[in-house]
C-alpha cells in the first residue's frame, strides 16, 4: 500500500507505528492547552494515522493467513510489471498534484490572497525545477 519494497514483517511494523502515532495524537488534541486550529490538526492527523494503521494491519493480516498469498506478494514486489505500474502511478500523482497546486495558487491570486497565491506558485516552480533537474541527472546517469 504505502511501503513499496518492504517485507510483510516490516510493513506490519510500519502500520503499527502509524497506528500508535495516531493514538498518541488524540490525547494531545484533547488535553493539551492549544488553540482550536492546532487541536483540529492533531485530531485530523491522529484519525488519519489510526485509519492508515488499521487498514494496513488488516490488509497484511489477510495476506499472511495464506502461504500462497505470501509467496505471491513477495514475488510481485520485485516483478517488472508491478514496478512499472508503481512508477507510472507515482508520476501521474506528481503531475496531478502540480496541476492542483498551480490551480489553487491561481485561485488564491484571483480571490485576493496574494501571499498565499504567490507561495503556491513558487512551490510549483520549485517542485518543477527539482523534477526536471533530477530527470536530467538520472537521464545522464542511466
Q: What is the pLDDT of residues 53-77, one digit of tens each?
A: 999 888 888 888 888 877 777 777 7
Q: Kindly state whether residues 67 and 12 are assigned to the same domain.
A: yes
In this prediction, residue 142 carries a pLDDT of: 63
Cα 36 to Cα 42: distance, rounded to the nearest angstrom: 10
Q: Identify the segments of the chain with pLDDT beneath 70.
A: 1-5, 141-142
On the CB side of 39, how many CA atoms lie within 13 Å of its CA? Answer: 7
Q: Kindly state whether residues 9 and 69 are assigned to the same domain.
A: yes
- The answer to whether 108 touches 117, Cβ cutoff 8 Å, is yes
Tell if the pTM clears 0.75, that is, is over it. Answer: no
Q: Kindly state whether residues 10 and 57 are assigned to the same domain.
A: yes
In this prediction, residue 51 carries a pLDDT of: 92
Domain that holds residue 21: 1-77
DSSP class of residue 4 equals: T
The contacts of residue 82 (CB under 8 Å, 6+ apart) are 76
- The answer to whether 59 touches 49, Cβ cutoff 8 Å, is no
Q: Kindly state whether residues 51 and 94 are assigned to the same domain.
A: no
Residue 54: closest CA among 26, 12, 7, 25: 12
Domains identified in the chain, total number: 2
Q: Kindly state whether residues 83 and 40 are assigned to the same domain.
A: no
Q: Kindly state whether residues 55 and 108 are assigned to the same domain.
A: no
Q: Kindly state whether residues 126 and 90 are assigned to the same domain.
A: yes
Domain boundary among 48, 77, 106: 77
| CA-to-CA separations, 96 to 47, 118, 137, in angstroms, rounded | 25, 19, 23
Q: Kindly state whether residues 67 and 114 are assigned to the same domain.
A: no
Q: Kindly state whether residues 72 and 46 are assigned to the same domain.
A: yes
Cα 60 to Cα 62: distance, rounded to the nearest angstrom: 5
Domain boundary among 77, 110, 132: 77
Q: Kindly state whether residues 2 and 64 are assigned to the same domain.
A: yes
Q: Kindly state whether residues 71 and 89 are assigned to the same domain.
A: no
Domain boundary among 22, 56, 77: 77
Q: Kindly state whether residues 48 and 66 are assigned to the same domain.
A: yes
Amino acid at each position: 500500500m504505502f511501503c513499496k519494497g518492504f517485507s510483510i514483517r516490516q510493513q506490519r511494523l510500519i502500520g503499527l507505528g502509524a497506528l500508535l502515532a495516531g493514538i498518541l495524537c488524540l490525547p494531545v488534541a484533547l488535553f493539551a492547552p492549544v488553540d482550536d486550529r492546532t487541536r483540529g490538526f492533531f485530531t485530523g492527523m491522529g484519525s488519519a494515522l489510526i485509519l492508515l494503521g488499521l487498514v494496513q494491519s488488516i490488509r497484511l493480516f489477510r495476506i499472511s493467513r495464506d502461504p500462497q498469498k505470501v509467496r505471491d506478494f513477495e514475488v510481485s514486489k520485485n516483478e517488472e510489471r508491478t514496478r512499472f505500474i508503481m512508477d507510472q502511478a507515482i508520476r501521474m500523482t506528481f503531475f496531478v498534484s502540480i496541476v492542483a497546486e498551480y490551480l489553487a495558487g491561481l485561485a488564491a491570486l484571483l480571490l485576493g490572497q496574494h501571499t498565499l497565491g504567490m507561495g503556491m506558485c513558487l512551490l510549483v516552480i520549485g517542485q518543477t525545477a527539482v523534477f526536471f533537474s533530477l530527470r536530467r541527472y538520472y537521464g545522464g546517469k542511466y
